[in-house]
Amino acid sequence: MDRRVVITGLGAISPFGTGKDIFWSGLINGKSGVRTISLFDPKGYATTIAAEVPGFDPSEFIDRKEARRMDRFQQLAVASALLAVDDSGLKITDDIADATGVIVASGIGGLGTMEESMKVLLEKGPRKVGPFVVPMMITDLAAGHISMLLGARGLNYCTTSACASSNHAIGDAFEAIKRGIADIMITGGAEASITPLGIAAFNSLRALSTRNDEPEKASRPFDIERDGFVMGEGSGIIILEELNNALSRGANIYAEIVGYGMTADAFHITQPDPSGRGASRAMDMAIKEAGIQKEEVDYINAHGTSTGPGDIAETKAVKELFGNHAYNMLISSTKSMTGHLLGAAGAIEAIACSLVVKNGLVPPTINLETPDEECDLNYVPNKAVQKNIKIALSNSFGFGGHNASILIKRFEG
């Protein structure tokens, strides 16, 4: 089967705050969500900055007792799922529950729960470790909680592929509807890894920016002064529907997903293949599945993490695939504003792409002041650009060489 798949609901909890409108406003106004860490005392850490979700109160979405049985990443996922379902106007009644699935990604899962539980184990002994530690820690329980809360009885699982996790989740959900396995999918990702261990571990990899005195300027993809990515947290959930299902209930349609590609670099545990071949093939697969020409792609939301080798490899991948057209497209990295949400990055970037094609406005890459000479494409520096965008490509590439690209098109009936 080859059914059309449309996006009918958006739920975002980002470093700008709660809701898709706050998220979109932050992006188009070039706002930075990076600030000094407040979730723990970062004194003594090489990196003391991150892109935290401000003022998140899970009790606004979840019963307090249930919220205490969830890790922060699960709370964020459930809250953004409720926002997305509400935005879509969807009612999951008994007659459609079996055809409604959930695929929600997380790259790391309940890291905060694991850290706190290890302290309890070491300080108080094994009998004091709580009974909810395992379900709070494992990555699949974000999808599980959403399924139970909303009564969605279709396929239900998580994807974990580092920074490509959300694009894999969205791509799998897209394919499930295309193949007739589901009519409706609740999909995206959530991450909450701004913890002592999370920051210390990524510091040991020398992956994080240490521009602690200028947090808002620390994430600077494609700039010669970039010195690593900024850890972000949050969640993005989108509602996918089979086209006729959406039309029959008069749903608002933001955009259409038309292609999905996934490959492996088979190169290194943390570094991308410097040639960009794996990333290029993932983009090419998405374009071929969509049945369009490369020259029809108007915009790329780049993986663009603000790391030295990563930004160069992605630029090479775009040039290899698109040739001269690479210089005609608009490209931006919204991670310059949100930081890097790891397993949730692809989800909020899919939301960004949906709003780009819906509104004809392209977010900038902020802090791009002195472009790296090896990164010479049009990265929309510092200010949003108004342009009619028909087709947007969203890239996510993860540790372990995981590459995933999804193609989002302006909906035409």
Catalytic center residues: 163, 303, 340
C-alpha to C-alpha distances, 40 to 34, 196, 298, nearest whole angstrom: 15, 7, 41
Q: What is the DSSP letter of 218?
A: S
Report d(CA 356, CA 387) in Å as an integer: 9
- Pair 249, 89: CB distance under 8 Å: yes
User: If DSSP codes are grouped into helix, strand and coil, which group holds residue 412?
Assistant: coil
HEC profile for 197-217? HHHHHHHHCCCECCCCCCHHH
Report d(CA 105, CA 145) in Å as an integer: 13
CA gyration radius, the chain: 20
Nearest to 107 by CA among 154, 54, 57, 167: 167
The residues, ordered by sequence, that sit 6+ positions from 27 with a Cβ below 8 Å of its Cβ are 334, 337, 338, 352, 363, 384
Total count of residues recorded for the chain: 413
